[in-house]
Chains A and B, each alone.
Chain A
Amino acid sequence: MTSTAVTHKPVRWGRVALHVGCLAALLVMLYPLAWLLATSLKPADEVIASLDLMPSHLEWSNYKTALDGVNDVSIWRLLGNSLLIAGGAVLGNVISCSLAAYAFARLRFRFRGPLFAFMIATIMLPHHAVLIPQYIIFNQLGLVNTYWPLILPKFLATEAFFVFLIVQFMRGLPRELEEAARIDGCGPFRSFFQVVLPLTRPALITTAIFTFIWTWNDFFTQLIYLFDPDKFTLTLALRSFVDASSTSAFGPMFALSVIALLPIVLFFLAFQRFLVEGMASSGVKG
């Protein structure tokens, strides 16, 4: 019986198996996210020792506790700090990386080849090789425990990855447009702002989205540079739960985790097309 069905439409069954396999894999993969959401709504006594994802009743007080903040700092403050740093980083990266990219992609200057090679090499440079002296510099300038060390480097195009991404994109733009603009009397600045930049929008959006998500998720740099609880970001506030293992704090801790994850999820849902395609064309790691 089945054999006739198989010979009749052999492709279909393979397809079905493929979808079943993919969905099963997805279920396993999305489990941690479901677990996070479920736990954030569980009463304290159900967190551990239960495989059940569903809480017996929804414990919204976890979110109430989370909204009260951490270490006497309100959650709005933490959220604001995170947004300020991520926003500053986005602005810095988009401006400085597009400027450098335009020079590399379109202008001629001495040592262009070697400088471009150096720029590419810095993509592979481990952050730790420059970390300590950077820390010392910011320390000497009295800027440790401020947001400057987290934002300023982005205004100096230190994330070569995005320079490269925008260069690749600009190289794909037709040169005729700029030549036409030049004949019409446009200098390099005007043709950058009025001709090239508007066309580069997809690459700039990709840069902005990835910068936002990476900065939002960043832990190491924030851990090193920020000490005062009222300067903490959401990520750093979550860190105070790292040492705590008492089950009673579990619910609020994961409620805060959900809140910290929310902007990324929203970004992902809103821009998934840009994210996935920007990533495929450039090889950005999430």
Chain B
Amino acid sequence: MTTTAIPAEARSAPATAPKRRPKREREGAAWVFLSPWVLGAIVLTLLPMAVSLYLSFTDYDLFNPPKWVGLRNYVQMFTEDPRYWRSVVTTLTYVLVAVPLQLALALVVALALKGMKRGKGFYRSAFYAPSLLGASMSIALVWRAVFNDGGTVDNLLGTGGWVNKPGWALLAVALLTVWQFGAPMVIFLAGLQQIPAELYEAAAVDGAGKWRQFLSVTVPMLSPVLFFNLVLQTIQAFQVFTPAFAVSAGKGGPADSTLVYTMYLYDRGFVASHMGYASAMAWVLLLVIGVVTAVLFRTSRSWVFYASEGDR
């Protein structure tokens, strides 16, 4: 409808209207294109953020009007709720175990595939497959069975089932994340292919061995990609939910050892109907992710190298 109206107007515009008019029209058009996004950003992002900040200072059970309690939720969280701290420690442990392992594996496999002439495409796709399947409930259920008492891992290692042991259940969850190393691997591989071969040739001429080439050429040239993967995977790891839910039958056990942050948030908000408390938890998560991202960006200045900055 609009598409037919516009050209007719545009045809007559240069003759009659002053110069500014077409520009204004384009500005108007831009806002038409943007309107779904603007509506979503206001109604589903900005407004909810403000509301959840407000709710975090209230008692709210979804049925009665919110009751202002000031900092009560935060005080309770930080000083009176051992399960909250349990979930914080669990999540941090999970992030610190899963993310480095996953990225290390992704890098090693990407390096192995890098110079390969035959079969590269096949391996790339095959290693990537778990990244898509792994987020499903189906695989999470497989994970629980394989790591359970009498499951494959028990049969192989005689561990008696990790899922039932407080110290080991979280590792099973982390391994499910590590298993999905294909996504960062593909990004690493793309990054490795961007590194000009001349750099390696020059390094070799200067007498650098393979290891030296890795440290002096590959690592600095790959650092932006490494940084990108690190930020992305860290942010996502903080929000892990499905595998912990499946492995612990939705309870975060044994002994709260898989009670990750989002699961406790779900428990407080949607099971116990403490929406105010859950909102406070959500805001702390938002702040923590913000701070972690900011710190990563800050430290990145000292180790991330952008080729365009340096002299080539």
Q: Give A contacts to B, CB under 8 Å.
A: 15, 18-19, 21-22, 25-26, 29-33, 35-36, 39, 48-49, 51, 95-96, 99-100, 102-104, 107-110, 115, 118-119, 122, 124-134, 136-137, 139, 153, 155-158, 163, 185-190, 192-193, 213-214, 216-217, 219-220, 223-224, 235, 238-239, 241-243, 245, 250, 253-254, 257-258, 260-261, 264-265, 268, 272, 275-276, 279-281, 283-286
Contacts and interface: CB of A to CB of B under 8 A. Distances in A.
A217 B136 CA distance: 5
Contact of A156 (B44, B130, B156, B249): B44
A155 B35 CA distance: 11
B250 interface: yes
A268 B243 CA distance: 21
B204 interface: no
Contacts of A286: 128, 131-132, 134-135, 180, 182-183
B25 A187 contact: yes
Nearest to A241: B141
A139 B62 contact: yes
Nearest to A154: B40
B152 interface: yes
A121 to B, nearest CB: 9
Given A132-B278, A188-B29, A239-B250, 7 more contacts: A103-B37, A158-B44, A187-B6, A220-B242, A242-B246, A257-B141, A272-B128
Ranked nearest first, the 8 interchain pairs of A and B with the lowest CB-CB distance are A156-B40, A187-B6, A286-B131, A133-B48, A257-B138, A100-B37, A280-B190, A107-B30
Nearest to B42: A156
A139 to B, nearest CB: 7
Interface in B144-198: 145-146, 150-152, 155-156, 179-180, 182-183, 186-187, 189-190
A122 B46 CA distance: 10
A32 B282 contact: no
Given A243-B249, A280-B186, A126 B239 contact: yes
5 contacts: A110-B27, A157-B40, A241-B141, A264-B133, A286-B183
Contacts of B150: 48-49
A25 B182 CA distance: 12
Contacts of B35: 99
Contacts of A18: 112, 116
A163 B132 contact: no
Contact of B33 (A49, A103, A265): A103
A124 B293 contact: yes
Contacts of B301: none
B43 A264 contact: no
Given A96-B40, A110-B27, A133-B51, A254 B142 contact: yes
Contacts of B133: 33, 261, 264-265, 268
B270 interface: yes
B143 A32 contact: yes
Contacts of B239: 126-128
A97 to B, nearest CB: 8
Interface stretch (B77-85, B117-125, B212-220): B117-125
Contacts of B155: 49, 51
Interface in B8-58: 9-11, 23, 25-27, 29-37, 39-41, 43-45, 47-49, 51-52, 55
A149 to B, nearest CB: 10
Interface in B277-295: 278-279, 281-283, 285-286, 289-290, 293
A223 B285 CA distance: 21
B94 interface: no
B137 interface: yes
Contacts of B29: 107, 187-189
B48 to A, nearest CB: 4
A285 B131 contact: yes
B43 A108 contact: no
B33 to A, nearest CB: 4
Given A126-B235, A129-B286, A158 B138 contact: no
A275 B132 contact: yes
B146 A187 contact: no
A157 B36 contact: yes
A32 B153 CA distance: 11
A153 B34 contact: no
Given A108-B30, A219-B241, A257-B138, A190 B37 contact: no
Contacts of A136: 51, 62, 275
Contact of B245 (A129, A134, A219): A219
B264 to A, nearest CB: 11
